[in-house]
Amino acid sequence: MSRAALWVGGTFVIVMMLLTVTDVTLRYVFNAPIIGARDYNSLALLIVVTFSVAYSARTGGQVAVEIFDNAFPPTVDFALRMLMHIAGAVMLVNLIYHLIIAGTEATLLGESTQELGINFEPFYYILALGMAFYVLILLAEIVEFVVVRRSGASGETQSL
């Protein structure tokens, strides 16, 4: 799952790079920029960031406060990790719900990009999908914590 998110995000980074280079070249060499290049790039950036969140979460690329890592016994550490993952999943499910509502309202309210008028509705759904990937990763890590704990791995609940 996280590898799929990496490929989606990476593909759109390449698309953004090619679009920007082409737009700048056409603008300065032929005085004919690509109309709507900013709209395309901003929407592509949204996709990159959306799918990078899930990948970053799985690979440990997000900022983490580790002040209390060794301050608690393994049982308390396990409970806190579980609580954080469950709370994160609940908050993300709430976010997904509101992104879906915003997506359904986007067309009704006429929300679109400035230059090309691209409707924002599908992009709200893409954001919701990216956050759903993140929820699945959190749930998989909860299962992983429980499996590691049951296997008796000396209380260590770090990601495999």
Q: pLDDT band at residue 128, thresholds of 50, 70 and 90? A: very high
Question: What pLDDT is recorded for position 48?
Answer: 87
Question: What pLDDT is recorded for position 153?
Answer: 58
| The model's pTM | 0.81
Of residues 6 and 106, more confidently modeled: 106
Q: Cα Rg for the chain, rounded, in angstroms?
A: 20
Distance CA 92, CA 107 (A): 23
Average pLDDT over residues 104-129: 94
Q: Are 132 and 96 in contact (CB under 8 A)?
A: yes
Residues of the chain with pLDDT > 90, as a percent, come to 57
Tens digit of each residue's pLDDT (9 = 90 or more) over 57-93: 878 777 777 777 778 888 888 898 899 999 999 999 9
- The residue type of 58 is R
Question: What pLDDT is recorded for position 96?
Answer: 98
Long-range own/partner contacts, residues 132-136 (CB < 8 A, 24 or more apart)? 132/92, 132/96, 133/1, 133/2, 133/4, 133/5, 133/51, 133/53, 133/54, 134/53, 134/54, 134/57, 134/92, 135/89, 135/92, 135/93, 135/96, 136/1, 136/54
Distance CA 156, CA 136 (A): 22
